[in-house]
Amino acid sequence: MTESAAAATLLAEARALTDAQLAEVAADFGRRSDRLGGAISYALGTIGKRIRPALVLACYRACGGAGPGIARLATAVEIIHTYSLVHDDLPCMDDDTRRRGRPTTHVVFDAAIATQVGYLLVPVAIGVLCQATEEMGLSGPTHQAIARDLLAASGIGGMVGGQWLDLVAEGRVLDPADLTAIHTRKTGALIQAACLVGGRAAGAAEPTLRAFASFGADIGLAFQVADDVLDATATTDQLGKTAGRDVSLQKSTYVSLLGVEGARAEAGRLAAGAIAGLQRAGVASTALVSLAHYIVQRQS
Ligand code: GRG
């Protein structure tokens, strides 16, 4: 199997496993007769690339993990990601009307409902995480470490903090160090947490977890650099979200600082560094190598 076929196969598997779990959660809320139930089902029913669940699966398996329970843990990470997309698109944040090829949650419902959906998805994700670690029979300390990693990546030192910095930076020209400080937190932290969660669930030793932390940080940043390139070069139809949004929001991006070719080279450099780090740590995983390449070569 070629490397790109390996990434496509893993992403398809992650999508099938995660979508089944998301449908279960959505069905629980869908039974509510009010608009909130419909809005939660709508947000959870959108079709994403499922990169974060694929990383959870790949890191788990790279450390010898084999049980089916990992799908639920991967779903917890994807639900946190889904909440962040719903809130990111709100009028008070990036104010976007399209996501994953469909109108955003606040466009279909309204901003108040979409705000409630986002807030509600956080405890839902933690509930799914608790169910997963219990079903997998993970120890108390492993459960705690997984919850701590995911919450730390989502909080002020991670996604929320990065989003905050990103919003206040609109209209300002940033230098590369500032941009990296924002995106390490805003985008990179959750991708890094996906790697750590998968490794911890498989009982990975500390040196392997350190390698996953470094790999996750590098591909997390590479993911954002590639995202900036796509925002500047792809169409709204290809992306499933509004293209060219960075320019309209006057955001500094890797493309505005380095140009399209410079940003592509930076993404490639970060992915190569991520793969070299895994090799140095003795982690042999074709799946992780293929995902690192996919993250910088993707077209959407
Ligand atoms: C309270 C300030 C404050 C923030 C709330 C909204 C939020 C937290 C954080 C935003 C985080 C965010 C949306 C980062 C962008 C990451 C990114 C490029 C997402 C797109 O990921 P893909 O391409 O999406 O994997 P799909 O749709 O494929 O899942």
Separation of alpha carbons 174 and 263, rounded Å: 15
Token duo for residue 97? 């009307």
CA 59–ligand 1 middle distance (angstroms): 22
Rounded CA separation 50/47 (Å)? 8
Q: Quick one: average pLDDT of 279-295? A: 97
Residue indicated by tokens 């705690």 = 144
By most ligand atoms within 8 Å of CB, the mutation choice from 80, 85, 93 for ligand 1 is 85
Query: Does residue 187 line the site of ligand 1, with CB under 6 A?
Result: yes
User: What distance in Å separates the CA atoms of residue 106 and residue 114, rounded to the nearest whole number?
Assistant: 5
CA distance 53 to 17: 9
In this prediction, residue 187 carries a pLDDT of 98
Q: What are 152-200's pLDDT values in tens digits?
A: 999 999 999 999 999 999 999 999 999 999 999 999 999 999 999 999 9
As a whole number, the mean pLDDT across the chain is: 97
DSSP H/E element including 289:
helix 286-297
Q: How far is the CA of 139 from the centre of ligand 1 (A)?
A: 31
Distance 163 CA to ligand 1 centre (A): 8
Output the residue whose Cα is nearest ligand 1's atom 2.
164
CB of 86 within 8 A of CB of 114? yes
- Does ligand 1 lie within 6 Å of residue 264's CB atom? no
Which pLDDT does position 278 carry in this prediction?
97
Q: What is the pLDDT of residue 30?
A: 81
28-69: pLDDT as tens digits = 988 877 899 999 999 999 999 999 999 999 999 999 999 999
164 CA distance to ligand 1 centroid (A)?
12
d(CA 276, CA 102): 38
Q: Phi and psi (nearest 5°) for 178?
A: -65, -45
H or E segment to which residue 211 belongs: helix 206-233
Distance 9 CA to ligand 1 centre (A): 24
Nearest 5°: phi and psi at 3? -65, -40
Q: Whose CA is nearest to atom 3 of ligand 1?
A: 160
Per the document, the length of the chain is: 300
What number of other Cβ atoms are within 10 A of residue 126's Cβ? Answer: 17
Q: Is the CB of 232 under 6 A from ligand 1?
A: no
Whole-angstrom distance, CA of residue 31 vs CA of residue 37: 7
Ligand 1 nearest-atom number relative to CA 86: 6
C-alpha 81 to ligand 1 mean position (Å) = 6
Backbone angles phi, psi at 206, to 5 degrees: -55, -45
pTM over 0.95: yes
Sorting pLDDT into bands at 50, 70 and 90, what band is 2? confident
Q: Give the pLDDT confidence score for residue 39 in this predicted structure.
A: 96
Give the type of residue at 81.
H
Give the start-end residues of each E strand in the chain.
98-99, 102-103
